[in-house]
Amino acid sequence: MTTETSLHDVFTSKQQRTERQHDLVQRHQLPILTLTLHMPIALAKKAYTKVIFQSAIDAIQHKIKQLNWEVETRQIVHLNIGSEALFVVDTPSANLLKKAMMQIEHEHKLGQLFNIDIINRHGKTVSRKSSNMAARQCMICQQAAHICASTNRHTIEEIENKIMKLCDAEAVCA
C-alpha cells in the first residue's frame, strides 16, 4: 500500500465515519460513541488488532450495561486502515458517557490502545478538556500523545513492541 493510498484511505474513512455519525445523531437524537484503535495504519491488519478491538467492544458493552444504559444500535466496520465501531447510547449525559469511557481507557490493560470518542445528541464532540480530564499521554514516553503522533516521534517497531508488551501483560494477543 502506498503512502498516497493510505492517506486517501484515511481521509475517505474519516469522511464516511463522520457521515455515519451525523446520520445516527439525526435519527436517534442520542450520544454516539465511536471506537477506533490508537495505532499506526501499518499495524492495522496485524492479527492481534482484532483481539484488541474485540476486547475494547467487550469492555464498552460491559461498562454500558453496568451503568444501566442501553445501546440503541451498533455498527461495526472493518476497513483496510483498521476497524471502527459506532454505538448509539441511551444515557442521561454525553459527558457521563465520556467519563465512563475514559475510565476504560485508563483502567483496562489494553486501554491505552483504545480511542473512544463521544458525540453529544447535538452532534458536538465531547472532548477530554470539556470533561475536565487531562490530555492523552503517549504510551511509550508519557508526553502528550498528539505531539508524538504528529511528529512521528516513535518508530513502528517501538510502537509494536509496546503493543506486544501490553498484550503479553493481558495475555490476549498471542
Report which of 152, 129, 154 is spatially closest to residue 139, judged by C-alpha positions: 154
The span from the first CA to the last CA of the chain, in angstroms, equals 26
Contacts by 88-93 with C-beta closer than 8 Å and gap 24+?
Answer: 88/24, 88/28, 88/30, 88/31, 88/32, 88/33, 89/30, 89/31, 89/32, 89/33, 89/64, 90/30, 91/30, 91/31, 91/64, 91/67
CATH 3.30.70.260 fits 3-134, yes or no: yes
> pTM of the full predicted structure?
0.88
Question: Would you kindly state where each structural domain of the chain is located, as residue ranges?
Answer: 3-134
Give residue 8's pLDDT band: very low, low, confident or very high (50, 70, 90): confident
pLDDT at 2: 47
The pLDDT of residue 1 is 46
Q: Can you give the pLDDT at residue 44?
A: 85
| pLDDT tens readout for residues 12-71 | 888 999 999 999 999 999 999 999 998 888 888 888 999 999 999 999 999 999 999 999
